[in-house]
Structure 1
Amino acid sequence: MRVLVVTTWFPGPWAPGSGIFNLRDVELLALDHEVTVVHLVPPTQLAQARVDQLGRIAVHRVPMAVRSPRSIRRARRYIAELALEHDLLHSMAISSLLPLGGTALKVPWVHTEHWSGFLAPETAPIGVRAMGSLLARRLKRPDVVVTVSEALASAVRRHRAGPTMVIPNHVMLPPSGAALEREQADHIRLIAVGGIIQRKGPIMAVRALAGLRARGYPATLRWIGEGPLRDEVMSTAAQLGVADRIELEGSLAPEEVSHGLLGADVFLLPTEGETFGVSIAEALTHGLSVVVGSRGGQGEFVGPADGVLVAAQDPGLYTDAVIAVVGSRTPATPTEIARRAQQRFAPEFRRAEYLRAYHLAGNPEGHSA
């Protein structure tokens, strides 16, 4: 099948880490289909359309300003012309619906949604929130909508009556043969993976670290990711006397992230909300117990044997949860945690489910999801 993917979130030379989850989905789809991507790029990053090649996948980079009707119309014409050469349209991310609003599609349409604003609208800027509310009405048009968690699916179903499926994000697995059992360390090695942004809770993590130190537990925190709160994190750490116990690593390659997860004792992410929680799932596939916020899709796969879901943004509660985890009050071993998570997020399952979604989109009568 010839599949045309349209997305605003996708890696490019100017932002290699942006929308990496959509790239992973495209790579998976390309195992069974001939895939072409239309990447809608802000004009500040790209002045003219061009075509890049990612292996066998052609990526059409098309400038589109989300606040310019003229720019959106140009993108719409570009997509409509390409769609004539394909058997199915697959849009990814809510903002990709902008140029598809007035398109008269003659091919089946699948849409994959990730937007955290459906579950935690207060974490999105006001302008983005308003645009998201407007675009949510367009979710009724695709033949099938795919979400990455049941929590997000429930929110999406409020805007559509058609089939809505749950297919989790791509989750990185550890290298084959990697040692999952942790060596004894003289301190608690905490690790977090995520942007240094308010929603991920980096300040809360610093306060939890300070709480551990105050209670006599030697601990360090390694944060992998980048973001605008970097200076505030270090300032808070200095005020609390733990600046020498924190490493802000910035963005790392996947293999370096994997190595870091294998060398830690507890994954700590005081997130305010997740649509899925890729880094949380990856911590589990690497055999790590997790201490994370309870709001979002991660509640569907983090059980009592995997760690602690913290119900409130309170540093004392996060400190208590870490102490509970390191005190072996979560019964599973690292190997057991990893085995269960690796089975749940097996790429073979995701591949089969996307084949089912495409079949359902092309044959909507007599099927349900």
Structure 2
Amino acid sequence: MKVAVVTNDYPTESSPNVGQFVRITAQAIGAVHEVTVIHLRSEAAGGVENHYRDDAVDVRAFPNALKTPEDFDRAAKIVYSVAPGFDVMHTMNLWSLIPFGVLERQEEQLACAWVHTEPWQLATPQGWPSEIMSVEEILLLPDGLTAPAGKMLTGIADKRYGNYTAAVPYIVPKPTKFVERPRVQGALRLVSVGSVTAKHQPEVAIRTVRTLRAQGVNATLTWVGEGTAKIRSQEKVKDFGLEAYVRFVSSEEVGGVEAALDAADLFIGPTKEENFYLPLAQAILAGRPAVVGAGAADLEYVNQDTAGVIKVVKENNSKFWAAACLELQEATAGMSAAEVSATLGEKYSPEAIAKEYSEVYEETLEMSGFEV
């Protein structure tokens, strides 16, 4: 099939870390289908359109800041004009919906099937342009709609009046090379990855380190991420006198998430709520057992297969968390990183997810009446 991936986020030389979700997904699909990325590049109008090859996909980059009504109209003109050359148009983030929310275009049918993937949220964000239909309204329109977790789609599937809706997980690649856990006698190196927010309860992780150290365990914590609770968390670390043992850092400061996981014994995530919890899946696939909060208990991959490497703690008392960390460290002492990783199998590999998107395209085309 010929697939157009429409996005306003895609890595460039000047912003290599932007749009990595879109790139890894487009590259996986590009190994199976003929993919062209339509990149609505965040620049003011008047720039030069670029057309280049990026591994498995072609990229057509159109300068468009998506800030003014003129930008919105121009973006709509681009996507509607290129549609006849494709079997499927696949939008991959909220802001790529803007061309489809221009009111003047609502009576015009797109010349190919339209699939939208929403990786983060299914609601209108703050700052959404008032000239554009709400996200909730636009999401009723695509021929196919996917999100990384079934519970994200609860409520909207019934409103889409028979249009195809399905859960397709994130791609979570295994590391190219496994690094074994440090597992130093008397020490416990904890790592967490993700936004430092109240939802992720960083104070529980900090108190867990304090409790472990009070029990004579040389425990440390490296939390990789940014967020509204980062400063408050760092102040709590100082209050407890744990500056030498607990760090809240950026990915760049530790050489990337993979390096942070490689240096740890266990992943800790006292989360209140998750849809997919990408950092947890990354940790397990990297070979790091995990102690997580009640918000992760109903995740698809927290099941019998991973029961030996993921421990759920429903209490917030750090004594329970400290005990769980020590128990899991001991219980997995004989497991290699590859054995921990194998509990998740290959279900989140690029090949597996590309196959799922192929099925989404086929089902969407069949249900919407388009033909390849």
Superposition TM-score tier, normalisation by shorter sequence: 0.7 to 0.9
Pair 1:79–1:288, CA change in 2 (3 A) = same
User: What SS is found at the alignment partner of 1:114?
Assistant: coil
Q: Tell me which residue corresponds to 1:16.
A: 16
Q: Tell me which residue corresponds to 1:207.
A: 207
Is 2:10–2:18's contact at 8 Å kept on the other side of the alignment?
Answer: yes
Q: Identify, as 1 or 2, the structure richer in helix.
A: 1
Structure 1: gaps of 5 or more residues: 119-123
Q: Does 1:107 align with 2:112?
A: yes
Q: Does 1:240 align with 2:245?
A: no
Paired with 2:254 and 2:247, the residues of 1 have a C-alpha distance of: 18
Q: Which 10-residue stretch deviates more, 280-289 or 318-327?
A: 318-327
Instruction: String of CA shifts for 1:252-271, please: whole Å, max 9, x gaps.
Output: 49985334323311101233
Pair 1:15–1:202, CA change in 2 (3 A) = farther
What's the CA shift for 1:107? 0.2
Paired with 1:39 and 1:181, the residues of 2 have a C-alpha distance of: 40
What's the CA shift for 1:212? 2.6
Pair 1:267–1:158, CA change in 2 (3 A) = farther
Instruction: String of CA shifts for 1:195-247, please: whole Å, max 9, x gaps.
Output: 34444443443233223323443210122334565443322211111111123
Query: What is the identity, as a one-letter code, of the residue corresponding to 2:66?
Result: A
Q: Tell me which residue corresponds to 1:121.
A: none
Spell out the pairing of 1:263-302 with structure 2 (5 A cutoff).
263-295=263-295, 299-302=299-302
Paired with 1:350 and 1:216, the residues of 2 have a C-alpha distance of: 44
Spell out the pairing of 1:163-242 with structure 2 (5 A cutoff).
163-176=164-177, 178-180=178-180, 183-227=183-227, 229-242=229-242
Pair 1:15–1:318, CA change in 2 (3 A) = farther
Paired with 2:135 and 2:198, the residues of 1 have a C-alpha distance of: 25
Which residue of the other structure, out of 351, 355, 367, is the alignment partner of 1:348? 351
Is 1:307–1:330's contact at 8 Å kept on the other side of the alignment?
Answer: no
Paired with 2:206 and 2:196, the residues of 1 have a C-alpha distance of: 12
Is 1:149–1:168's contact at 8 Å kept on the other side of the alignment?
Answer: yes
Paired with 2:117 and 2:76, the residues of 1 have a C-alpha distance of: 19
In the superposition, the TM-score normalised over structure 2's length comes to: 0.81
Paired with 2:211 and 2:95, the residues of 1 have a C-alpha distance of: 40
Is 1:226–1:251's contact at 8 Å kept on the other side of the alignment?
Answer: no
Is 2:39–2:59's contact at 8 Å kept on the other side of the alignment?
Answer: no
Pair 1:179–1:363, CA change in 2 (3 A) = same
Paired with 1:65 and 1:364, the residues of 2 have a C-alpha distance of: 31
Pair 1:48–1:321, CA change in 2 (3 A) = farther
Pair 1:312–1:126, CA change in 2 (3 A) = farther
Pair 1:298–1:364, CA change in 2 (3 A) = same
Q: Tell me which residue corresponds to 1:32.
A: 32
Q: Tell me which residue corresponds to 1:337.
A: 340
Paired with 2:92 and 2:48, the residues of 1 have a C-alpha distance of: 19
What's the CA shift for 1:69? 3.2
Aligned residues: 358
Query: What is the identity, as a one-letter code, of the residue corresponding to 1:34?
Result: E
Q: Does 1:364 align with 2:367?
A: yes
Is 1:116–1:275's contact at 8 Å kept on the other side of the alignment?
Answer: no
Paired with 1:229 and 1:52, the residues of 2 have a C-alpha distance of: 41
Q: Tell me which residue corresponds to 2:260.
A: 260
Q: Does 1:77 align with 2:74?
A: no
Instruction: String of CA shifts for 1:264-299, please: whole Å, max 9, x gaps.
Output: 111012334333222211111122111223336972
What's the CA shift for 1:334? 4.7
Is 1:88–1:108's contact at 8 Å kept on the other side of the alignment?
Answer: yes
Query: What is the identity, as a one-letter code, of the residue corresponding to 1:170?
Result: I
Query: What is the identity, as a one-letter code, of the residue corresponding to 2:137?
Result: R
RMSD: 3.6
Q: Tell me which residue corresponds to 1:64.
A: 65
Paired with 1:298 and 1:262, the residues of 2 have a C-alpha distance of: 26
What's the CA shift for 1:135? 1.0
Pair 1:334–1:251, CA change in 2 (3 A) = closer
User: What SS is found at the alignment partner of 1:264?
Assistant: coil
User: What SS is found at the alignment partner of 1:232?
Assistant: helix
Structure 2: gaps of 5 or more residues: none
Paired with 2:253 and 2:171, the residues of 1 have a C-alpha distance of: 16
Paired with 1:309 and 1:40, the residues of 2 have a C-alpha distance of: 42
Q: Which 10-residue stretch deviates more, 212-221 or 28-37?
A: 212-221
Is 2:122–2:136's contact at 8 Å kept on the other side of the alignment?
Answer: no
Paired with 2:345 and 2:132, the residues of 1 have a C-alpha distance of: 33
What's the CA shift for 1:301? 0.7
Paired with 2:200 and 2:89, the residues of 1 have a C-alpha distance of: 33
Query: What is the identity, as a one-letter code, of the residue corresponding to 1:346?
Result: S
In the superposition, the TM-score normalised over structure 1's length comes to: 0.82
User: What SS is found at the alignment partner of 2:257?
Assistant: helix
User: What SS is found at the alignment partner of 1:349?
Assistant: helix
Is 2:267–2:283's contact at 8 Å kept on the other side of the alignment?
Answer: yes
Q: Tell me which residue corresponds to 2:134.
A: 134
Pair 1:133–1:299, CA change in 2 (3 A) = farther
What's the CA shift for 1:191? 0.9
